[in-house]
Structure 1
């Protein structure tokens, strides 16, 4: 059976929590993430709250009933919160650009595909499912610059890294989506 990607509202996405947990644990166990299995449980706890965020979008890739991948996104708050990586992002971009480029846009929070399902186009389809309604194509995400395959994946899809180097040496970088209007203003690193 071919995998099918479904965009789902919060409660429908949470109905797949066991499969999402398994994919999270498998996808983030390897470098550079090194996530422990218990972190997948923590993600499910966070996800239960995240589905309540304004503009939440979720998608799941299913092969029958088996979850092969998932993605989540929501509308970024204005201003960006003072938690997680947001203060470093704001410092790296500057408050004015962070507000103009990120606030009110669609923030991709998680995208994970089971390693056994890589190479089937599921990551691309999941990403498109959660960003297709981004206002004015203003979608963005954070990822580790140490995740070489992940960075190359986003670049192949037309996403552009706009923090060089990554904020404060933490290895987290901001990427703007392919149609984001600020892409033209983003300074690319010199080679």
Structure 2
């Protein structure tokens, strides 16, 4: 496994290939591969400049990315783009500020199908969160990604309860401890 900061952009093509393979397969098979490729590449090129950005990639001998995890430190004010509004609706603004702002945010975690079941996802997640500011990390995922939900629960991540009446399609997890 290799740690990256902004230098992850030097292997952006390989990382993007792995991302597309992971996030256009079930349960995300409804995603168009080329749209997914373009959107991820654009996000990566911006996200690499976020405060505290880090990535860990597991590389095969042939240079392909077998697995990856990216993230950064969640800033104040809490974002409202992408699915962040759903996070605020799910937890409430006060809990978002208490639990998430200042913590390390896992943005993407993926393991290619051929490398699944080897513990790679757990190792990637542990490697990236080992130095999380204040020892706190968080992530969100889609409520219909049942294998993903099971994985996070199995490795000890906790779900803070939603505010009453929340009907969001996302689930928030907090790192163990």
C-alpha RMSD of the superposition = 1.8
**Alpha carbons 1:7, 1:58 under 8 Å: kept:** yes
Superposed displacement of residue 31, structure 1: 2.8
1:39-58 alignment, distance < 5 Å = 39-58=36-55
2:21 & 2:83 partners in 1: Cα distance?
23
Equivalent position of 2:24 in the other structure: 29
1:81 & 1:167 partners in 2: Cα distance?
22
5+ residue gaps in structure 1? 180-191
Equivalent position of 2:4 in the other structure: 8
Superposed displacement of residue 126, structure 1: 1.2
Superposed displacement of residue 71, structure 1: 0.8
Secondary structure of the equivalent of 1:173? Answer: strand
Superposed displacement of residue 114, structure 1: 0.7
1:123-142 alignment, distance < 5 Å = 123-142=121-140
Q: Which moved more, 1:145-154 or 1:26-35?
A: 26-35
Secondary structure of the equivalent of 1:160? Answer: coil
**Alpha carbons 2:57, 2:65 under 8 Å: kept:** yes
Superposed displacement of residue 16, structure 1: 1.7
5+ residue gaps in structure 2? none
Aligned residues: 174
Structure 1 residues 61-108: Cα deviation after superposition (integer angstroms, max 9, x where no partner):
011222111110100011211211112211221111110100010000
1:156 pairs with 2:151: no
Identify if the C-alpha distance between structure 1 residues 59 and 113 changes in structure 2 by more than 3 Å, giving closer, same or farther.
Answer: same
1:100 & 1:152 partners in 2: Cα distance?
25
What is the TM-score with the length of structure 1 in the denominator? Answer: 0.85
Superposed displacement of residue 164, structure 1: 4.2
**Alpha carbons 2:87, 2:172 under 8 Å: kept:** yes
Superposed displacement of residue 30, structure 1: 2.2
What is the TM-score with the length of structure 2 in the denominator? Answer: 0.91
